[in-house]
Structure 1
Amino acid sequence: MTGETQRASSLFSITAIVVSMTLVAIGNGIMLAYVPYVLARVGAPEWTPGAAVTMIAFGGLVGCVIAGPVIRRVGHARAFSCSLALVIIAAFLVALGIHPLLWVFARGVYGVAGNFNFIIAQSWLNHASDNRWRGKAMSFFYMAYVLGLGVGAWLFGRMPADGNLAPLVTIFVTTVALLPIGLTRLPTPPPPARVNVDFAMAWRNSPVALIGVLAAGGLSMVVQGFTPIYAATHDVGQADVALLMFVMQFGLLFVQYPLGTLSDRVDRRVVLIGTCLLIAGTAVAALFVSFGAMAVLMIVFALWAGGVESVYSIANAHANDRTDPDDFVPLASTLLVAWSAAATLVPLAVTALTPVFGDKTFIYAVMAVALLYAAFVAHRLRLRETVPPEARETFEIRSAQVPNAGALVEGEKAPE
């Protein structure tokens, strides 16, 4: 195969993966808005909307554990088909009717499939991409997936919430997502390596990065999961809830990119402190802005979500700055497990505390996490030297909703 033919094949393979995962994201965006919105409005027990959010993250943690062994046993293609089958099963359970406990279980099943999808797709992208443009390919994947979530939320606003059309549409787009993978001759990645989680190494290299990923896991799941619940309990209409969820995804582009670029030029820890102050400030604004001023509220929540996304990406870059390249795979594995654990525990705590402190508990929680992390970074800033810009890894756009899962199953290095 000539170099030009191989390049075209790689680009085609990457396009197939990105298109497939974007379709999955559209279905996920529909369900991320639909499930909490309906549960918050049908008189379900008060804890069930939050429990559904928590179960997504818990399922993701389970997905981290089982993905490697399953892929080693059946390969990437079959494992990808199985993960999409789990998405379809989860949507089918929701389509059966409003049964709160069944819906909570279904979101857990989706959580398993969600991280499973990310692990397979990111591993495949790493293998299919040329080293010269792998970073651009991964950034394109992150942006396409997150914007797909926004499109899914927008579509939810244009379908009835009182029937089962939303989960049926999710089943349809997820089924279509199988076609790009099934109809292309994707190069098979090498057998996955053993997962190597090393918290001691991650802490030794960068406490700021490890705690930052923990903070980002909790922040992202709380902001993305509890916002539609909060809006629904304030009698916000379905179309406005969907538009709010759609607008929030654009924080990835309009907030994360300038902050990430700045972090390439000055100490990333200083940018992390500023980002946490942005998160805390927008949280204060979220407490007081009225749902009657919907345009202002959407701007506040878009900035809020963008700040949360930025914590993950900048902390990830800071970790790579201080880690030997030979340790990148165990580092990524460790950070993913840390993210998943925090994304489970923080929403669980918010769910437990909401009956005591009210529907704004998630806003207080985000504010507290951001300020505590800012204080921790400020403390570490005084204790450790700055990495000069020329010694840093180049910043890449990453999403806290699509954690760096591919390293869990990385085998040999991708081809040059």
Structure 2
Amino acid sequence: MHRSPSSLLSIASIVASMTSVAVGNGMMLAYVPFVLTRSAAPDWVPGAAVTAIAFGGLIGCLMGGSLIRRVGHARAFSCSMALVILAALMISLGVHPLLWVVARGLYGIAANMNFIITQSWLNHASENHWRGRAMALFYMAYVIGLGAGAWLFGQIPVEGNLAPIVTIFFTAVAILPIGLTRLPTPPAPARVSIDIPMVWRISPVAFIGVLASGGLSMLVQGFTPIYAAANSVSQKEVAALMFVMQFGLLFIQYPMGALSDRTDRRIVLIATCTLVIAAGIAALAVSFDNLLLLMLVFAMFAGAVETVYSIANAHANDRTDPADFVPLASTMLVAWSASATLVPMLVTLLTPAFGQRTFIYATMTVALLYALFVLVRLRSRERVPPELCDSFEFKSAQVPNAVALAETEARAERPVRRPDL
């Protein structure tokens, strides 16, 4: 099949589109919880908006492949962008709590569809020898876009509807590079096939790790701005906090990922969970009066949480036969989305009784339980030899790994793995 020129420039349109989308998303991730927390809305509404994103994401990952098979990647991308614009438009109408919860659900649907579409296109457009760099560029650009959007939120008036209008602007701009790209359309994506028993046989540690990371990521990323706004932190300070958090994973994930390439990934997962717990304890201890220190603590918090996701994915890849890669990725994606829905929902229900710090305690509890599970598995199974392990790849739990739902040729040359843990 014809390929576009083998260079990183050939995927610039995809990366540019998703970076523009990320700017709008980063703004709304800060704007919605800040406004809802400061409004007269019931206490459960900000948490429900977080849960709605994850629930929408679950719907998106189940219906995304079917939509792409029906209309193709470019049209499906336009449809998903339309959902983002509609969601922002609903928010621009004023503070109507239930309407905003529905809007965040629409955004969740669109977000996972976007990831399936763009990662599919990236996988198709890139050659084997630089595909890893392409994916790393995509992840980093998206995370930087999220941070830029959070920063931009701090520079505009929170009153009125300027924030959702700016989000609509960046989302509309994102349609242009994809609409004008000359990249060939990828093959239709694989069907989402869920096979939990198979994934459990391949790696219980990876499966439970992805479940844990879904809850961990949505708790830290979704509830932190709610927590800050409830403690009377100003708009600019909330924006700065969200901005710094997005870059925490750059400084934690890379060294921990590199370490996991040299030693048993399960040990690194236990160490990462310990870091999550330490960051949680620090978050409870540090006062909002020392905002700079609190920002650093939450940057470590977010970075450690994202690292659980990426190392768990790498751990699964180490043990997966290429023939099982699509059902593995499909199951992991659905598992992540389900956990990202249920855990925030539970925390939302518990917060009125236990206070705004409930999400911190919940994050620490999930990390502790997962670390104990990994420790038990570590004592009962041997490590896969290093020569059979994939290299660690930069990933973010905010950008679900949907690439395998698109095509499998990128993994065709991988050595056969043995299910060992």
Q: Which bin holds the TM-score, normalised by the shorter protein?
A: over 0.9
**Secondary structure class of the residue paired with 2:129:** coil
Cα deviation for residue 192 of structure 1 reads: 2.1
Distance 1:163 1:352 in 2: 30
Distance 1:199 1:236 in 2: 43
Letter in 2 for 1:166: A
Distance 1:415 1:81 in 2: 31
> Which position in structure 1 is the counterpart of 2:417?
none
Q: How does 1:340-379 map to 2 (within 5 A)?
A: 340-379=337-376
Letter in 2 for 1:80: F
1:269 counterpart = 2:282 = no
The one of 400, 405, 413 aligned to 1:403: 400
**Secondary structure class of the residue paired with 1:132:** helix
Cα deviation for residue 414 of structure 1 reads: 9.0
**Secondary structure class of the residue paired with 2:6:** helix
Cα deviation for residue 316 of structure 1 reads: 0.3
Distance 1:236 1:322 in 2: 46
1:18 counterpart = 2:15 = yes
TM-score normalised over the length of structure 1: 0.97
Cα deviation for residue 329 of structure 1 reads: 1.5
1:226 counterpart = 2:223 = yes
Q: How does 1:316-355 map to 2 (within 5 A)?
A: 316-355=313-352
Distance 2:93 2:140 in 1: 32
> Which position in structure 2 is the counterpart of 1:285?
282
1:6 counterpart = 2:21 = no
> Which position in structure 2 is the counterpart of 1:294?
291
State whether residues 192 and 411 of structure 1, in contact with CA within 8 Å, keep that contact through their aligned partners in structure 2: no
Letter in 2 for 1:367: M
> Which position in structure 2 is the counterpart of 1:169?
166
Q: Percent identity?
A: 70
Distance 1:24 1:379, change over 3 A: same
State whether residues 199 and 207 of structure 2, in contact with CA within 8 Å, keep that contact through their aligned partners in structure 1: yes
> Which position in structure 1 is the counterpart of 2:140?
143
Cα deviation for residue 409 of structure 1 reads: 3.3
State whether residues 322 and 411 of structure 2, in contact with CA within 8 Å, keep that contact through their aligned partners in structure 1: no
State whether residues 23 and 174 of structure 1, in contact with CA within 8 Å, keep that contact through their aligned partners in structure 2: yes
Cα deviation for residue 198 of structure 1 reads: 1.2
Distance 1:382 1:414 in 2: 30
Q: How does 1:15-414 map to 2 (within 5 A)?
A: 15-410=12-407
1:252-308 per-residue CA deviation (whole Å, 9 max, x = no partner) reads 210000000000000000000000000001101101100000111011000010000
Distance 1:367 1:192, change over 3 A: same
Distance 2:190 2:312 in 1: 25
Cα deviation for residue 2 of structure 1 reads: 10
State whether residues 326 and 408 of structure 2, in contact with CA within 8 Å, keep that contact through their aligned partners in structure 1: no
State whether residues 276 and 364 of structure 2, in contact with CA within 8 Å, keep that contact through their aligned partners in structure 1: yes
In the alignment, structure 2 segments of 5+ residues that lack a partner are 414-421
**Secondary structure class of the residue paired with 2:185:** coil
Distance 1:36 1:232 in 2: 8
What is the root-mean-square deviation of aligned Cα atoms in Å?
Answer: 1.6
Distance 1:127 1:374 in 2: 36
Distance 1:2 1:371 in 2: 49
Question: How many residues get paired?
Answer: 413
**Secondary structure class of the residue paired with 2:328:** helix
**Secondary structure class of the residue paired with 2:132:** helix
Distance 1:295 1:413, change over 3 A: closer
TM-score normalised over the length of structure 2: 0.96
1:341-365 per-residue CA deviation (whole Å, 9 max, x = no partner) reads 0000000000000011011000000
**Secondary structure class of the residue paired with 1:196:** coil
**Secondary structure class of the residue paired with 1:213:** helix
Letter in 1 for 2:6: R
Distance 1:74 1:412, change over 3 A: farther
Letter in 1 for 2:281: V
Distance 2:188 2:114 in 1: 17
1:373-413 per-residue CA deviation (whole Å, 9 max, x = no partner) reads 00000000011111122220110000011010122233666
In the alignment, structure 1 segments of 5+ residues that lack a partner are none
1:183-219 per-residue CA deviation (whole Å, 9 max, x = no partner) reads 1212110122222221111100100000000000000
Distance 2:319 2:376 in 1: 18
**Secondary structure class of the residue paired with 2:69:** helix
Which one is further off, 380-389 or 152-161? 380-389
